[in-house]
Structure 1
Amino acid sequence: MKGPSRRKRIGLDGRILRPEETLAPAAYRPDGKGRGLHAILEKSLPWRDGTAVPLDGTLKGTTILLLWFRVDDRPIEGSTVWDRSAQIIAPGLAVALRGLAADAHLVLNLRSDRDRVDHIVDPTADRLEMLLSRYFDWGFQAYVGADPDARWARDAGSFERERARDLRKWLIAIDECYDAGAIEIWSRAYDYEKLVARIDLEKVNESLAGVDLTRFTS
C-alpha cells in the first residue's frame, strides 16, 4: 500500500487555490468559533456529479447523515491543514466507524494505488485508525452489515440505483466526501436517532480533542 501524495487544488484559472477559496459562505458555522478541532452531525442532502440525488423512488425512506470535521467555525477542508485532514481526523473517524458497526461487520474499501482497491474486514481499532490516516483521502468507502462477503453494487449509469442496491444488502453505506473533510452515512435500516446514537458524537469529539494541530502546521 502506497497511499496518496500531498494534494493541491487548482482553480479554473490555473492557480493553486487558498483553502478559504474552496468554501461557500453556507459552510461556516459561527457557533464553532473557539472550539478547535471537532465534528458535527447534520442531515445531508447528497449530490453526485453536480446533481442532487433524488430521494424518492428507490431511495425513498433512506436516512442520510453528514459527519463533518471542522476547525473552529470552518470545515477542515477549508482550513490551513486541509491537506493533512486524513491524519488529523483519523482518531475521531475511527470512533465513529466502530460505533456505526457495533456488533455487525465493518468492511472498508481503500484505494491504495491508482489501479487497486483493498477490501479490509473488521480491522482492529489500531489498524483502523492507521488505515484511515493513510488512505481516507483517496476515495474511501465503507459498509456495515451482517454478511462481510456481501457485494457492493456497481452501476456506472446511476448512483441512485447503485446505492439502492447497496442498501438492500448492507445496513449502512459510508462515503468520504467534502475533500476528505466528512463522511456521508446512508441507511434504510436505521433512522436518524438510531444512527446518531451509534455514532456517539461525544466520544468522537473526545478523541479529536487529543489531536495536536500544531504538529500539522509546520
Structure 2
Amino acid sequence: MKKIERLFIIILWTIIVGLSFYFFLDNVAVYLTGYKSKSFSNNPFWVGLHLVGGTLALFFGPIQFSKWLRYKYLTFHRLSGKIYIIGAFIAGLSALRLSIISSCAPCRVSLFILAVLVLATTFFAWWSIKNKNLESHRQFMVRSYICVFSFVAVRIGGIFPLDFLFGQIDDPTFDRTVNEYFFSFVPLLIGEMLMTWWPTLKNIRDKIKVGQTSSH
C-alpha cells in the first residue's frame, strides 16, 4: 500500500509541476517578454505583480513538501518557505485588485474569494509554524498551495472540458464562469476531504474494529 501511495504522490507532483511549467511558458513568460492581455492591458503593474508573486509561490511551493529536503537541508527549507510566503501574499493581494477589474464580471466574486483564501491559508500556515504547531502548519501549507495552484487550474482549465459533467454550455460568459468556480474551489474541497474527512472516517472505522475485537 505504501508503494502505491508513493507512486501516486510521484505521479501527482509530476502532473502539478508539469502543468506549472506549461502555465509559466504559456502565460507568464510571454507576458514578461512583451505580450499584454487585452483583459488587463490597462493594469500592467498589478498583472506583473501577480505573475511574479504567483510564480515564486508556484515553484517554491513543491519544495516545502519534500521530506528529504526538510530533514537534510532545514535552513534551505526555511528560506524557501519565506520566499513562498512572500510570493503567495503578493499574488493574493494583487489578485484582490484584479478581481475588481476582471473582464468577466460574474468571475470577479470567485477570484476575490480565491484571493482571500490564498492570503488566509498562507497567514495561518505562517502563524502555525511560529507557534510550533507542525501539523497545523502542514495542513495550511497544503491548503495554501492548492489555492495558489487553483489560479493555474483556472487559466488552463480549457484543456479539461467540463462538458462531461455539465453538458455543453453555449453561452461563453456562463461557460467561463463555470470554469472559474469549478477549478477555483473543487481542488480545495478535494484536498480538504483527503486531509480531514478521510482520516476522521478512518479513525472511526478503526475504533469500530477495535470495539468489535474487544467484544469478542
Confirm or deny a common fold (TM above 0.5). no
* Between structures 1 and 2, the one with greater strand share: 1
- TM-score range (shorter-chain normalised) is under 0.3
Relative contact order: is structure 1 or structure 2 higher (C-alpha 8 Å, sep ≥ 6)?
Answer: 1
* Between structures 1 and 2, the one with greater helix share: 2
